[in-house]
């Protein structure tokens, strides 16, 4: 999985005079993730797309199951034969995560949209399912994750959950590394906090 393209589009809107120019900057692109047949993968939507609902973000041609996670536990979205039959209005915005499983062979899901520049991710006390709000790969340290007292759980269908523990702002286990579009659980034993990124467009 990788970010296949990143396009900097700068739209220039000219005003009535040369001194009244307004600039609008958007970074748009797409990211491919493979959703395996009969196995769950823990992924995220790395790009803003409309209202970021399941129906907007995940285009399906066959059968697929998604599970988001929130205060009421896991909530399903189900697609049959290329149509969402439940949970299509659930929001899967950048910074969150969800489980996905295909029922129609291995499927490539293409996330398209705009980079969520300036978006921060809330890390509440307790368990949450999160992701990097920006489509970047790397260690959580490199992605400026605010490490405190927590356990990060990454999921693989082959190996299950892999925990990474941190205490007092120091990783006890190896620093978790995430790919673009990965989701992961955080069991935060400390106070609620915010994961904020600084990101410059040049």
Partner 1 sequence: MNKKQLFASLVGVLVSVSAFAETGAFAFKNTSAPKTKVLGVDGLGIGGANYLIGVLVKDPSTGNFTDVGLLKNGAAYVPAVPLTGANAGLFTGGVITVPFLNSGGTATVKVVAWDVTTGASYNAATTRGTSVAFDIVGLGSGAGSGGNVLPPDMSLVFPGLQLQVIPEPSTYALAALGLGGLLLFRRK
- Contact flag: residue 82 with partner 1 (CB under 8 A): no
16 burial level (CB within 10 Å; 0-12, 13-18, 19+): exposed
- Contact flag: residue 84 with partner 1 (CB under 8 A): no
Q: Which stretch binds partner 1 (CB under 8 A): 14-22, 27-35, 67-75, 115-123?
A: 67-75
- Contact flag: residue 187 with partner 1 (CB under 8 A): yes
- Give the Cα separation of 31 and 38 in Å (integer): 22
In this structure, what are the phi and psi dihedrals at residue 55, rounded to the nearest 5 degrees? -65, -35
- What's the closest the beta carbon of residue 185 comes to partner 1, in angstroms? 4
- Greatest C-alpha distance within the chain: 62
Closer residue to partner 1 in complex, CB, 132/151: 151
Closer residue to partner 1 in complex, CB, 47/90: 90
Out of 53, 60, 69, 121, name the contact with partner 1 by CB under 8 A.
Answer: 69
107 burial level (CB within 10 Å; 0-12, 13-18, 19+): buried
- Contact flag: residue 98 with partner 1 (CB under 8 A): no
Size of the site for partner 1 (CB under 8 A): 35
- What's the closest the beta carbon of residue 69 comes to partner 1, in angstroms? 7
Considering only residues 18 to 57 of the shown chain, the ones binding partner 1 according to CB under 8 A are 38, 40
- What's the closest the beta carbon of residue 32 comes to partner 1, in angstroms? 23
Out of 1, 28, 143, 165, name the contact with partner 1 by CB under 8 A.
Answer: 165
Instruction: Return the residue matching tokens 């029922």.
Output: 103
- What's the closest the beta carbon of residue 164 comes to partner 1, in angstroms? 10
Binding positions for partner 1, rule: CB under 8 A: 38, 40, 63, 65, 67, 69-76, 78, 80-81, 85-86, 99, 101, 103, 126-127, 129, 151, 153, 155, 161, 163, 165, 167, 172-173, 185, 187
């Amino acid at each position: 999985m990788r970010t296949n393209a990143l396009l900097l589009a700068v739209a220039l809107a000219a005003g009535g005079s040369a001194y009244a120019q307004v600039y609008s900057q958007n970074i748009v692109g797409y990211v491919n993730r493979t959703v395996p047949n009969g196995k769950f993968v823990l992924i995220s939507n790395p790009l803003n797309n409309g209202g970021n609902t399941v129906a907007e973000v995940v285009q399906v041609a066959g059968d697929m199951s998604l599970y988001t996670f929130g205060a009421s536990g896991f909530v399903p979205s189900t697609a049959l034969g290329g149509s969402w039959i439940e949970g299509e209005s659930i929001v899967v915005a950048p910074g969150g995560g969800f489980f996905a499983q295909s029922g129609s062979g291995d499927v490539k899901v293409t996330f398209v949209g705009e980079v969520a520049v300036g978006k921060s991710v809330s890390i509440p006390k307790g368990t949450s399912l999160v992701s990097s709000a920006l489509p970047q790969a790397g260690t959580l340290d490199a992605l400026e994750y605010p490490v405190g007292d927590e356990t990060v759980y990454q999921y693989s269908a082959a190996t299950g959950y892999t925990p990474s523990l941190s205490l007092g702002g120091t990783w006890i286990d190896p620093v978790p590394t995430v790919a673009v579009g990965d989701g992961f659980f955080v069991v935060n034993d400390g106070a609620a906090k915010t994961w904020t990124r600084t990101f410059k467009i040049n």
